[in-house]
Structure 1
Amino acid sequence: MNKFEEQIIICKECLKGISQKINNNGVPSNNINYQNLYNELYKLSELLPTHLAIYQKRLHDFILPNLKVRDMVSYNQWGQQIIFPCTGINPYTLGEVIATLIYIDENKHEYDNIWVNIHPCIIQSSQKLFNDAHYAESVEAAFLEINVRIKEIIKLKTGEDIDGVPAMQKAFSVNNPIFKLHTDIISKTGKDIQQGYMELFVGAFRCIRNPKAHEKISITKIEAIQKLHFASLLMYEIDKAKINTL
């Protein structure tokens, strides 16, 4: 057993301890100190082999920076900012940690080129269906994953319970988006990027997800691969987007 495989086991044991605190003792993840898990995941990221390099980037760019619950900010009667440090684990990022570690563990020795650049959430939802030759279902599951993610944020921000095309239109609207895909959506470039991605998301649900959800459609393996990469692109754009304060 090499150091990489040993570190996977250490990370799994760390997660097991956290799960026991949550499930057996009723301790919320945001009351569990993040530091040990952070340290072990960082060590793992430095040991990842080349074929899992995309997960090193995901750990460094998304998971580790968001593992800790954000510090609480308040203001006193004189308008001075007061910061209350938090050391708990972000429950949303914890789910990403579990999914990512499962995939790394299952693919530590070899990998399928189809999945090397696919978003971890799409892998989690679609890989088994694809490997079992349920190609259309694997694509449907990928876009359902996108739909659920967008729907949850819209409901959290606005209270509205919408999905599919209306959800994509609202989430990426040029005028008042929930997901900002450019730092300056007032400029022509920013508006064009926002509009373009809104049309991509809307088009994906009109042309790919909705027909499959309502009709029995068969697609080839190659078509499924192409659509899964498209779903992955959209999911990565959601990762990069800034959630707008409405």
Structure 2
Amino acid sequence: MRNTYTNEIAELHKWVENTDYQLGTGLSFLHTEVEVQVTCQRICFIANCIQEEYPFYASHLPVISQRLFSGNRLSGFTLNSAVFGELYIITQQLFSEPINIQCWTNIHPRIVQKSKDVFCDGHFDSAAEKAIKELETRLRELFQQLKPGAGVPTKIGDIVGALLGDNGVFHFCDTSTVSGKDQRRGVKLLFDGMFAAYRNPAAHANLPYTKREAVEQIMLTSQLMYILDRPCLL
């Protein structure tokens, strides 16, 4: 549905822009029955797709579709300019932000770069997979940085162990205290669990994700990415 939604909002945006241009000429014109039917069906379809992200727009767009045109097939259909003005504003926002992207403001920039556009296109599973792949890339970079000259292990679990194990080289917290040791051990378990639960299965099959599942995985990946940004304590 999301791929279809992206296409439909693009088509509605195109129609709105063209209609706005025609209105700007000051000339009166009529709309065909087919144009009216397609436009109203498109508006209602979009409303159905955005119930979670934009509940007010979702409830108001069907009302707009009912009031947007007046007339009949014989005499032609005219446009309600006031209602069109509402549709214009709503369409501009939906076209620029097809999915509510507020959650991305706190996501790690590297994850945003790899996953945000894919997520906003509705490819939630791909967005989650790209996020965890970027986390793996960062781990490999950190290994090379802290162990120059050493060969980077093929298995990600070996990299996590070399960085975050009891004798690991990435010291992001004070392990001279009990709480510091607990934090380090807990963080390593998070990394191990993340790759065991998400990265390894995804390497063998395409995993379907709902929007909620993708957001949860992306946020956890972002949290772990920020941990890797901490300075290494000597």
TM value normalised by structure 2 = 0.53
Match of 2:114 in 1: 125
Unpaired stretches in structure 2, ≥5 consecutive residues: 1-95
1:41-190 alignment runs, 5 A limit: 112-158=101-147, 159-162=150-153, 163-174=155-166, 176-182=167-173, 184-190=174-180
Instruction: Output the CA distance in 2 between the equivalents of 1:157 and 1:228.
Output: 26
My pick for the range that moved more, 160-169 or 137-146, is 160-169
Contact 2:172 2:233 in 1 (8 A): no
- Residue 244 of structure 1 and its aligned partner are, at CA, apart by 5.5
Distance 1:118 1:112 in 2: 11
Percent identity, please: 31
Match of 2:70 in 1: none
**Structure 2 Cα separation of the partners of residues 244 and 152 of structure 1:** 18
RMSD, matched Cα: 2.1
Q: Distance in 2 between matches of 1:227 and 1:196?
A: 18
Checking the alignment, whether the CA contact within 8 Å between 1:201 and 1:234 is kept in structure 2 is yes
CA contact (8 A) 1:180 1:244 kept: yes
What CA distance in whole angstroms lies between the structure 1 residues aligned with 2:118 and 2:156? 22
Structure 1 runs (4+) greater than 2 angstroms displaced: 155-158, 242-245
Instruction: Give the number of the structure whose alpha-carbon radius of gyration is greater.
Output: 2
Unmatched segments (≥5 aa) in structure 1: 1-106
Amino acid at match of 2:170: F
Residues 110 and 134, structure 2, Cα contact 8 Å, conserved in 1: yes
Are 1:217 and 2:207 counterparts?
yes
Give me the whole-angstrom Cα distance separating, in 2, the residues matched to 1:230 and 1:197.
12
The separation in 1 between residues aligned to 2:126 and 2:158, in whole angstroms, is 22
Higher relative contact order (CA 8 A, sep 6+): 2
C-alpha separation in 2, matches of 1:179 and 1:113: 32
Displacement of 1:187: 2.1
The aligned amino acid for 2:129 is: E
